[in-house]
Structure 1
């Protein structure tokens, strides 16, 4: 299985978009490291993927860029590609672009952890890491 090509992946500023299932295959094989770019509060309250590196792209409150992001990405398993995960697959695109600027092979995890909102604006019913039945825990 190959990454899902983005429209002009190289022009997008990162390696590409991958399905949650492919991301998990890469992590299991040791080919990639999953980097959760959601806030600490999101991981704590909504759930997290065991073994994923935590490197919030933005911090709560105020959603300012995390000044430690660059260092956290540099420390995330050198030599392996990265798959960045956020709530819905939007923040992780910006984070993947930055990780690429830092010299890492960075991919965006399509659908994020919670997926898109449904007709009632609830997440978790239309795609996402949890919806796909991939490993996750909640405190």
Structure 2
């Protein structure tokens, strides 16, 4: 796997968007922490990133906002490290990256998320995403 030649893409309200590979490289080097903001149900049913703190942005059922998000996020990201936010497709993590920035963190959205975009059949997991890119993941 090679480093992304343009690792940070400009964003509005947070530090930027990064590819799954860049996020993984930063995490592996100790520059950042991958934070899985998907719901507990998503991680349980679809898969998870081993070692990534789970800090749900919203929870199932009903996708209600996590009232402890701020506190849990601050606890998960050591001072001086980047917050690398991962959701299903790279959409919810934008809102979470904006909130993390408001909390004073250097926050990035991981493009494509864990599962990537839908394919022509409406299925995720075949067009981009952490899992599709061959980065570490597990399943219960």
Counterparts of residues 21-100 of structure 1 (less than 5 Å): 21-79=21-79, 80-100=81-101
Q: Which residue of the partner structure matches residue 136 of structure 2?
A: 135
Among candidates 3, 9, 26, match of residue 7 of structure 2: 3
Shift of 1:2: 4.6
Looking at structure 2, the residues matched to 45 and 134 of structure 1 have their Cα atoms a distance apart, in angstroms, of 18
8 Å CA contact retained: 1:17, 1:108:
yes
TM-score, normalisation: structure 1:
0.94
CA distance in structure 1 between the aligned counterparts of 2:119 and 2:8, rounded to whole angstroms: 23
Q: Give the whole-Å Cα distance in 2 for the aligned partners of 1:124 and 1:92.
A: 17
RMSD: 0.9
Any conservation in 2 of the 1:88–1:116 contact (CA below 8 Å)?
yes
Which residue does the alignment assign to 1:16? 16
* Misfit runs of 4+, over 6 Å: none
Gaps of 5+ in 2: none
| Alignment-derived partner of residue 104 in structure 1 | 105
TM-score (norm 2): 0.93
Aligned residue-pair number: 135
Q: Which runs of 5+ in 1 are unaligned?
A: none
**Does the residue aligned with 1:70 lie in a helix, a strand or coil?**
helix
| CA shift for structure 1 position 77 | 2.7
Tell me the secondary structure at the aligned position of residue 17 of structure 2: strand
